[in-house]
A = this chain, B = another copy of it.
Amino acid sequence: MPLSTPVKPAGALRTIGERPLIDLIRQRFPSPPALLPVGIGDDAAVAVPPKGALEVLTTDALVEGVHFDLAFCSFADIGHKALAVNVSDIAAMGGSPRLALLSLVLPNRLMIEEVTALLDGFGGMAAEAGIALAGGNLTTTPGPLVVDVTVVGAVGPRKMLTRAGARPGDAVYVTGTLGAAATGLAWLRSAGAGPADVPDEEDLAAAVARYRRPAPRSRAGALLGRLRAASACMDLSDGLGDAARQIAAASGVGITIDAGRLPILAGVRRWNLERGVDPVRLAAGGGDDYELLFTVPSRRRGRFRTAVQQARGLPMTLIGEVTASRDVLLLRDGAEEELPAGFSHF
């Protein structure tokens, strides 16, 4: 298909026009013909469905002033994160992502360089996760920037991980570390930091990076699904407290989390204690970590060990167990309390 004239190197969106912006996106995201016989630029995309697999579909929107603050994040961070949160949802089902649709709701004040930076961040995450951009939508808005992404992936029949399979006695695991993103955001706020500022301390820098550019556990989720190592799985978009409750409710079980086992970076723990914040409560209640919470039946321990070996060093930490009680509890210094709730969207 013929491309229009190249986009001018600078200017606000209203001076650019819609077609040149679509052409810019099409140039940056060429369609692999074996997957996408029709890609960006027609009424809809046409894709070859996965062979011998089911499809996994998810959509998630980031809204300026709700999910990100342009004071702390670059446009590339926002593009990365908008795709990453969807990749995380596919991973939580045990699937592998294949393609994405990108719906941009753009304030007219945006500059073309800001949109291209957003596309760069999105493209970096797409390349990392092996995702082709199939299509999308562009519109202006009198309100905040909204980046709404749909990701479609594949999962083998009987390999999918839902929230509903946990059974009493299953072990509860989490990938990576907890409370990093919430700590990163707290540091950015307390430091009055700009989009490019990074703390000196290594663990705090990791926390800020986690907030700005979450690393979805794509490989771990696909491994847990393919190996059938987990009985239930969910990602920690809204915090451990929320995820544990969702798995417990969907599975009709209880969950007890051991506070002493929660994986928290030493520098994150220290910085929170210094500012008078309980790191355990933060780890349980803080959102945006995009780790995976999952349950492992004892008879699947062998499969789980294989998953750990193939996870390329990603820690998977035992943090609790599934109970028959329906209560979601935090065990701390020998006493049980209610597990702090996670983030609520309303």
Q: Which residues of B contact A1 (CB under 8 A)?
A: 164, 249-250
A317 at the interface (CB under 8 A from B): no
Within 8 A of B (CB), among A230-276: 233-235, 249-250, 252
A296 at the interface (CB under 8 A from B): no
User: Is chain A's interface secondary structure helix, strand, loop, or mixed overall?
Assistant: mixed
Partner of A57, one of B21, B105, B152, B344: B152
Which residue of B is nearest A13, CB measured? B346
Measured between alpha carbons, how far is A162 from B271 in the docked complex, in Å?
57
Q: Which residues of B contact A249 (CB under 8 A)?
A: 1-2
A58 at the interface (CB under 8 A from B): yes
Q: Is the CB of B160 within 8 A of A66?
A: no
Measured between alpha carbons, how far is A44 from B226 in the docked complex, in Å?
17
Q: Is the CB of A93 within 8 A of B42?
A: yes
Q: Which residues of B contact A138 (CB under 8 A)?
A: 345-346
Measured between alpha carbons, how far is A46 from B159 in the docked complex, in Å?
11
A63 at the interface (CB under 8 A from B): yes
Q: Is the CB of A163 within 8 A of B57?
A: no
Given contacts A42-B93, A66-B139, A140-B345, 8 further A-B contacts (CB under 8 A): A2-B252, A38-B162, A43-B234, A44-B92, A49-B53, A57-B99, A58-B135, A141-B146
Give chain A's interface residues, CB within 8 Å of chain B. 1-2, 13-14, 16-18, 21, 37-38, 41-50, 53-61, 63, 65-67, 88-90, 92-93, 95, 99, 101, 103, 105, 108, 134-144, 146, 148, 150, 152-153, 155, 160, 162-164, 233-235, 249-250, 252, 344-346
